[in-house]
Chains A and B, each alone.
Chain A
């Protein structure tokens, strides 16, 4: 049993029962539309990016926390006997990262249609969006496991996750705002470096710490 097999299992479960994923997607669409109705027009890139990241943040709480609700106690016990904790958390993080990256692409497409904006540096912009969304998924995978021990409550995921995700939000907001403004890579590389670093640190910490949560 390896990471690939668990990933396939995750994808198959979601394809057969697409309502959880569709739920997160609808959550995203509704929040985007609420913003459109209440704000109507955004002229400053700073407002655009902050609003975008706030929406994506709350979507990620929703989407990632759901991936642990589906795991029943029986199924966890079964997985416990056949896979190593490292394979389990790595595949969970990869899967959640895939979901979040997909959702972020949808979010950018719709958000930039509703609130028109020209992105001067698309490479830097997508770099920030994709790594940011993946980072949210990585951090929240571990935190959702923690919250699931305390009865799966979404409030707990949010209060545990917000302070920990804030460094990431600051960096992604800066990098995407600069990309919209077309600021040179001479400035951007510093943020890009920190963003990659944060992802690596969170990934490593999750892999190291998860085995302690695995065995109850």
Chain B
């Protein structure tokens, strides 16, 4: 049997004249942490809401384990919407128990789940406070607890890291990787690209309702032309300008980033650098996710 997958199969959605999603397609495998990045309004939230059935697509299909996601499947998905998604005046503990029971847990099981998740996420002391009395970061933790309360088979989280302090970011990433370790596909959107790069197995970059790049971070980063970072402190500016097949991307205080055409000889570059004096660093440079993102979104 193949690994269970959450498949987003060519979903489209328009609001009147505005195209929110166009043939958006990707999949998330069991145990995989999938990062969803894109500028504001690119369609990330729309795609997630469609996956959750909170919104209906105009066309396309969302499948889990090979069959279309229906109402019963959705009940086994954990969802954390952007902004808030809790009753402001309801107490933290009661709220979690309520949501757990709506998911079908018994009273006792719901209480136990609420207790253990508030404990795990460090908000146990706030169980009897109304949600609105908590700081935004703590509300976010409660929100995560709400998404996890019923041991979901799939996790879909919209901007789970926004507004969290570094400690909370660690707690959040810990919980997410823990879930992938037990075979749950986790999909989350974020603007914190370093975090996505560090955490995710695979990344999808969305622009204007389309998936423009999708793959592992390594795949994405090695996709572009190869670059070299050369640190030759004694070199005169412009030392690399005349090398064949080489373009200078940036040059700053003896550190040059060079882009090599296919077939260009990197050893010739090293020799030319060594000819200027000592070479402290000579390494292939791979674009960061941020670079890629900029390139994809602006280009």
Q: Do A and B bind each other?
A: no
